[in-house]
A and B are shown apart, each in its own frame.
Chain A
């Protein structure tokens, strides 16, 4: 694998997969793919393949975990053993536990948790194939699965990363750019309300670069949001057409 000195950006300013610096990977989204779950969504973003399923709201067991004033949102981010090049142990790793928490906190502001006290909603995220920025892709899919389950929400959450690769601020990092690049900034955003629900930074950026990266990521989120809307609507418009 280690072809050392990889040129991440060529002379024309194009990236390894031929993308421009501010270009997203091709995205395919499908909503309502699992019939056993209350809500579900499947997303492909470049080589990322992620499945999200939502169950609930339902009564919470054990009961002492229930909150008297709001519902509990539980989240499990999990990578399949075959999702990466080297087999990953199926047991939840430290990283997966952390990402589950981060994703939960990115989704919670969008959900009206106070509507249904003493209940629980479970969100399961299964990464089938990983290629960088999986936390963002997972959030995008999970928010669609929540909407598909009929859980009242303030807005859909779209997420996208930006970062610095060879002194250039680029959008939607893939695995290699994330590993070799200088910095990675994942952002989750509610486009209609203009609220950021997740903002992290891994690496080193100057404050100007950081601002540029965040703005670029927000623009990316808005593009993803448009696709999310279409995917969610497609589930119902296709039914309509068949009947008429």
Chain B
């Protein structure tokens, strides 16, 4: 039962990763008892499971994910929201209004219009239906202030860090409130634009250096350095 690559080695689609009694994990597939990569990324052998951490991928909705999307269309009884995925999401009017929706009385554009940003949760999604969004939890709904950063969806776990270490560090150091969409869209709200800029700078640095080690410490140093520069000048 051999494996053909070292851990964290770069592989491309079609590379033979392992042969024999292994389980095909993320971004891999099994054919005739052999496991191949299906995306460019870094291999990871984890007991009997073979994974590839993709370097290039797009966001695929999952029920329960928090996402940030843009309203692209106002329909008869809801909105169509672009969530940066292959499928557009639907947000029903009754969901937002918290009461039955009356087409004669309610003007949907008064609530959310094309171009508005919303924080929402994926309520349902499967192969046959486009994702449906819900905003019935505190913190979800229309975004009124803050700045948006977009990163590759595969790098979202890196911005969160181990048990949220990275994100809580950035929050603490910059004093910004950060909402992370699993689709790679991040909302940063701070007391002033300078704090927001600092947090955005940190997020971009994480995206660029996602595959390196000791990143949390380096980001912390960078933020402190920048703060000093501003404080001194």
Q: Which A positions have Cβ atoms within 8 angstroms of B?
A: 38-39, 56-59, 68, 110, 112, 116-119, 147-150, 152-156, 190-193, 229, 232-233, 236-237, 240, 243-244
Report whether B40 and A57 are in contact in the complex, using a CB–CB cutoff of 8 Å.
no
13 additional A-B pairs beyond A153-B14, A237-B10, beta carbons within 8 Å, are A59-B86, A110-B13, A117-B128, A147-B39, A150-B39, A153-B39, A154-B36, A155-B14, A155-B36, A192-B16, A232-B12, A240-B211, A243-B208
Q: Which residues of chain B come closer than 8 Å to A148, judged between CB atoms?
A: 40, 56
The reply to whether B55 and A152 contact each other, CB–CB distance below 8 Å, is no
Interface Cβ pair total, 8 Å cutoff = 78
Q: What's the minimum C-beta distance from A77 to chain B, rounded to whole angstroms?
A: 22
Residues of the B chain whose Cβ atoms lie less than 8 Å from the Cβ of A119 = 86-87
- B 135-157 contacts with A by CB, 8 A: none
B56:A152 contact, CB within 8 angstroms: no
Residues on the B chain within 8 Å of A152, using CB: 13, 27, 38-39
Q: B10 contacts which of A193, A236, A243 (Cβ < 8 Å)?
A: A236
Are A154 and B29 in contact, CB atoms less than 8 angstroms apart?
yes
Q: Are A116 and B10 in contact (CB under 8 A)?
A: no
Name the contact of B57 in the complex, choosing from A118, A150, A244 (C-beta under 8 A).
A150
Q: Chain B contacts of A244 at CB under 8 A?
A: 212
Q: Answer yes or no: B77 CB below 8 A from chain A CBs.
A: no
Interface pair B86/A56, CB less than 8 Å apart: yes
B127 interfacial by beta-carbon distance below 8 Å: yes
Q: B128 touching A68 by the CB < 8 A rule?
A: yes
User: Which residue of B14, B27, B86, B87 contacts A191 across the interface (Cβ within 8 Å)?
Assistant: B14
Task: Tell me, in angstroms, the Cα distance from A229 to B27 when the chains sit together.
Answer: 17
A244 to B209, CA, bound (A): 10
State whether A112 touches B38 (Cβ < 8 A): yes
Q: What is the distance, in angstroms, from A69's C-beta to the closest C-beta of chain B? A: 9
Interface size on B, residues (CB 8 A): 28
Q: Which residues of B contact A237 (CB under 8 A)?
A: 10
Inter-chain CA distance A58–B86, complex, in Å, is: 4
**How distant is B38 from chain A, measured CB to nearest CB, in Å?**
4
- Name the distance in Å between B220's Cβ and chain A's nearest Cβ: 18
A155–B16 alpha-carbon span in the complex (Å) = 10
**B124 on the interface (CB 8 Å rule)?**
no
| Bound: A148/B14 CA distance, A | 14
Give Cα distance in the complex from A240 to B54, angstroms. 15
CB distance from A111 to the nearest CB of B (A): 10
**Can you give 23 contacting A-B residue pairs, CB < 8 Å?**
A58-B86, A59-B86, A59-B87, A112-B38, A116-B60, A116-B86, A119-B87, A147-B13, A147-B40, A150-B56, A150-B57, A152-B13, A153-B13, A153-B38, A154-B13, A154-B31, A155-B13, A156-B12, A156-B13, A192-B14, A192-B16, A236-B55, A243-B208
Q: Contacts A152-B27, A154-B36 hold; do A192 and B15 have CB atoms under 8 A apart?
A: yes
B3 at the interface (CB under 8 A from A): no
A117: chain B residues within 8 A (beta carbon):
127-128
Instruction: Give bound CA distance, A68 to B39, whole Å.
Output: 24
Contact of B58 among A57, A190, A240 (CB under 8 A): A57
